[in-house]
């Protein structure tokens, strides 16, 4: 799943925290980072500090209910 133009990072991470399954950020190099990990969230924030927003990220979701939750986030923002 690709998510684009994340400008409200706090809201995005609150949505990720509500997910039940694994949520992994897939880097441009193909590495997978556990987005539910606070450490990985801080690592992803380094990009925000340099760009002021996240233009596009690719995430892998293991639970279909989490896909619905993330799609709700996308629709309501």
As its CATH architecture, domain 2-76 has: 2-Layer Sandwich (3.30)
Q: Would the pLDDT of 1 be above 90?
A: no
CA pair distance 67, 42, nearest whole angstrom = 22
Strand partners, 26: 32, 58
Residue 45 has pLDDT above 80, yes or no: no
Look at 22 and 44; give whichever has higher pLDDT: 22
Calculate the average pLDDT of the chain. Answer: 82
Q: Tell me what pLDDT residue 26 has.
A: 84
* SS3 per-residue string spanning the chain: CEEEEECCHHHHHHHHHHCCCCEEEECCCCCEEECCCHHHHHHHHHHHHHHCCEEEEEEEECCHHHHHHHHHHHHHC
What pLDDT does 41 receive? 82
Q: What are the residue boundaries of the structural domains of the chain, listed by start?
A: 2-76
The answer to whether the predicted template modeling score (pTM) of the entire model surpasses 0.75 is no
């Amino acid at each position: 799943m690709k998510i684009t133009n994340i400008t409200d990072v706090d809201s995005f991470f609150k949505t990720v925290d509500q997910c039940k399954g694994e949520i992994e950020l897939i880097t441009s190099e193909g590495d997978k980072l556990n987005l539910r990990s606070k450490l990985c969230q801080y690592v992803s924030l380094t990009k925000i500090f340099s760009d002021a927003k996240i233009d596009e990220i690719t995430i892998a979701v293991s639970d279909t209910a989490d896909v619905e939750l993330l799609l709700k986030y996308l629709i309501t923002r």
